[in-house]
Amino acid sequence: MSANQVREQQPVPEQPAAHGQEPVREQDSARERGTVRKRQAVRVQQPVREKLPPRVDAFGGLVIVDKDGGWTSHDVVAKGRGLLRTKKVGHAGTLDPMATGVLVLGVERATKLLGQLILTTKAYTATIRLGQSTITDDAEGEVTATTAAGHLTDAEIAAAVAELTGDIQQVPATVSAIKINGERAYARARAGEEVELAARPVTVSRFDILARRDIDSDGTQFVDLDVDVECSSGTYIRALARDLGEKLGVGGHLTALRRTRVGPFTLEHARTLEQLAAAAEADEDLLSLDIDAAVRTAFPVRDITDAQAGDLRNGRWLDPVGIPGVYAAIDPQGHAVALLKESGKRAASVMVVRPANL
């Protein structure tokens, strides 16, 4: 018998086994290691999911959403990022989860427009309940006081509304997104802290009562008011409800809120998230307005030459022409080149929409 045959007939040594276990042969152990390596190889060889390109170009535009109740503004942005396949999505002006209506999303380059759109006027329809105060000034908070309000006359209510119309000083709601020493007021309030916010100047250009309903609940008479409000950026409708109730001596809070307009963008421009998801599934355009249409819709327009457009794209300024506020510079091809604001002898860029490197 050859040496090789002797080695082949030698028994495979056993590895010591732990107490109560069967001995493990080296051959079995090697076979298991091979199986593990094969499994690892299979995992590595699995195809990587292809990353799909964004549904919009680098300039993007605006998506006007009709937000449903129960969604935070951040939830809507996250959903928009998924539908549009880009992380470059932001919003202009927070809507509370309870509120519905117009939420403006900026996509890609158009996110840089949002800082200007936040400063614009807004319009709402709302329902205010007189006779009950809550810790959050809306229907989602704990009731802190209840006072019968059925005795209030229409004239008394109208007089109190008039005091809250025009240029007023308003203390924001304690659960607002205003930062106090770097932390949101609502976070402090929900943590049980006593939150005190300073009054701020706001403008309520319209505060109209559309309907009155007297409600009898558990023996207490409340008054529900359906109202239309147009106001400046930074106005809190829940604070108007609170302040109206305080002026009438019965307390008040907001029970419903729907934003109908942000600047020039209305519910006519808006689609629900369900409609947007269906449009994405059908591979349809998700933008409500591309960046050029958005700029022309939101700002006054100044027509400029190709040479002036080149100056703006490269960071230079133009001579002023007497247009107040922020306005759009549009080139001969109809493209938005920059947002300008005049000061002294310069019309300087607030934002370059189409820089030279894009």
Neighbours of 195 (CB within 10 A): 19
∠ CA 13-15-20, rounded to 5°: 130
Instruction: Tell how far CA 318 is from the center of its chain.
Output: 34
CA pair distance 53, 51, nearest whole angstrom: 7
Closest CA to 99 of 125, 117, 78, 64: 125
Both structure tokens of 87: 């992380």
Q: Are 131 and 246 in contact (CB under 8 A)?
A: no
Closest CA to 243 of 349, 157, 342, 334: 157
Looking at residue 72, the DSSP 8-state letter turns out to be -
Closest CA to 340 of 358, 313, 332, 356: 313
Q: What share of the chain is helix, strand, coil (3-state, %, to 5)?
A: 30, 35, 40
Looking at residue 13, the DSSP 8-state letter turns out to be P
Name every residue whose Cβ is closer than 8 Å to that of residue 269 and which is 6 or more positions away in sequence: 64, 102, 288, 289
Residue type at 197 in one-letter notation: L
Q: Are 63 and 108 in contact (CB under 8 A)?
A: no
Both structure tokens of 73: 């503004």
- Is there a catalytic annotation at residue 96? yes
Both structure tokens of 180: 């106090």
Closest CA to 275 of 68, 52, 56: 68
Active-site entry in 96, 138, 292, 331: 96
Both structure tokens of 194: 């006593």
Q: Which residues are catalytic?
A: 96
